[in-house]
Amino acid sequence: MKNYYISMLMMVLFLASSCKMTRQYYDFQHHGTDTVKTDSNFRYVARGVTGKAKTTYKYNLWKKAQKQNIVPNGLLSTAKSKLPELKDNQCFANMSIDILQTETGMPTSGGMSVEELTIEVVVSADIIEYY
């Protein structure tokens, strides 16, 4: 019977120590059509075009930057570069920037010990053209 309790205790400790915990944070910014001249003639060329950029940082590899997926020009710049190229007399309108952060790690008595951080930036907009 004593062996049964010891084995159950060991199994509970093993299961509790191997759990991972995930937290997510979300932030956004929206830039409407404040600067669009409403007295001008314009038309929508495209709606809902998107550009995305994502990176993951592993804290145990923090000093080994060459093994990480580091974005050299910044996530927002990379996401914007994936939007379609504008032609003459075109601009972006109704632009929104969504930022999603995901932290993964081990639970501790004080909260969480973060082992991995993933950041994703999504830029979406409409394209209008003045005529």
> Which conformational region is residue 12 in: left (phi greater than 0), alpha (psi within -120 to 50 degrees), or beta?
alpha
Structural domain contains residue 54: yes
Q: What is the pLDDT of residue 49?
A: 95
Structural domain contains residue 61: yes
Structural domain contains residue 42: yes
3-class SS at 11? helix
Q: Which residue has the tokens 């400790």?
A: 13
The closest of 28, 54, 24 to 114, measured between CA atoms, is 24
* Number of domains observed in the structure of the chain: 1
- Token pair for residue 42? 């314009």
pLDDT digits (tens, 9 = 90+) for 6-54: 777 777 766 666 677 888 999 998 887 655 556 668 888 999 999 999 9
Structural domain contains residue 5: no
User: Which alpha helices (DSSP H) does 1-131 contain, by range?
Assistant: 2-17, 75-81
Q: Which residue has the higher pLDDT, 60 or 126?
A: 126
Distance CA 77, CA 67 (A): 22
Q: What is the pLDDT of residue 21?
A: 80
Beta bridge partners of 117: 57, 103
pLDDT band at 4 (very low <50, low <70, confident <90, very high): confident
Q: What is the pLDDT of residue 43?
A: 87
Question: Under 8 Å CB-to-CB from 101, ≥6 apart: which residues?
Answer: 24, 25, 26, 27, 117, 118, 119
Average pLDDT over residues 97-111: 87
Average pLDDT over residues 102-118: 84
Q: What is the pLDDT of residue 112?
A: 79
Q: Which residue has the higher pLDDT, 118 or 131?
A: 118
pLDDT digits (tens, 9 = 90+) for 71-101: 667 888 889 999 999 999 898 989 999 999 9
Structural domain contains residue 8: no
Structural domain contains residue 12: no
Structural domain contains residue 119: yes
Provide the residue range defining the domain that includes 24: 20-130
Structural domain contains residue 35: yes
